[in-house]
Amino acid sequence: MTSEPRDAPQFYLTSPSPCPYLPGREERKVFTHLVGRKAVALNNALTESGFRRSQTIAYRPACEECRACVSVRVRVDDFVPTRNMRRVLDMNTDLIGASLPARPTSEQYTLFRGYLDARHGDGGMADMNVLDYTMMIEDTHVETRLVEYRRRGPDSSINGRGTGPLIAVCLTDVLADGLSMVYSYYDTEQAERSLGTFMILDHVARAKRLGLPHLYLGYWVDGSRKMAYKARFLPQERLGMDGWEVVR
């Protein structure tokens, strides 16, 4: 893990770079390090303020002329799945997710690599090797879990784990007021399962069982097709200039 001697957060601003979501625009981010004995409390406070975590970095957009990136969190107790979402749940009743310590495996990396090649071959993570993946999973000073999804087996009701090949994975932070889905990936050859939607629905249920009021989904970007799905999980709260605002 990376480390830093100071406990008081120091914030930095990145230089402008091409926006990955909206063509023709530039992005800037403000970021700080999540390390030391105050990392957990700092991550809780920053996530509630619209930051996201990547390894030991907490960041949020700081674009001068654009406010398209909006932090979104699902209101767990009020959430009601749509008819289509209920169909997704029905299609995946044969799957079970096991919450495990954040430890990388070669099976995870194989699935991760296949997901990147199929869905994000030209993205910023396209060149990640096995060491990069290991850092993404292990380099954390906060409470982080890996949820691995496999088919249910004869002992799943006893041990809470599935059997057979790995089908989907979500790197998840456990916060004081909710769960945060840091990064998820899945077997793209099983597109009919709508595994991305299924993992969000499963995490809503997990947060509810834990008595946590929110599921953080990261940034919804108005005008970005690949981020449009986040707007479907209602009711949700979006972070605006006057704080978190309910959208139903």
**Quick check: is 54 in a domain?**
yes
Domain end call among 69, 95, 110: 69
For position 7, what pLDDT does the model report?
A: 55
For position 191, what pLDDT does the model report?
A: 95
**Quick check: is 209 in a domain?**
yes
**Please, what are the averages of pLDDT over each run of 10 residues along the chain (248 residues)?**
63 96 95 96 98 98 95 98 98 98 98 94 85 97 98 96 97 98 98 98 98 98 94 97 96
Nearest to 195, CA basis, from 207, 12, 203: 203
Threshold 0.85, pTM exceeds: yes
For position 120, what pLDDT does the model report?
A: 80
For position 119, what pLDDT does the model report?
A: 87
Residues 144 and 215 in one domain: yes
C-alpha 225/C-alpha 142 separation (Å) is 31
Q: In what order do the strands lie in the sheet with 243-247?
A: 95-101, 144-151, 163-174, 178-186, 214-221, 69-75, 236-240, 243-247
C-alpha 182/C-alpha 198 separation (Å) is 16
Residues 59 and 77 in one domain: no
Residue 203 CB neighbour total at 10 angstroms = 24
State how many domains the chain has.
Answer: 2
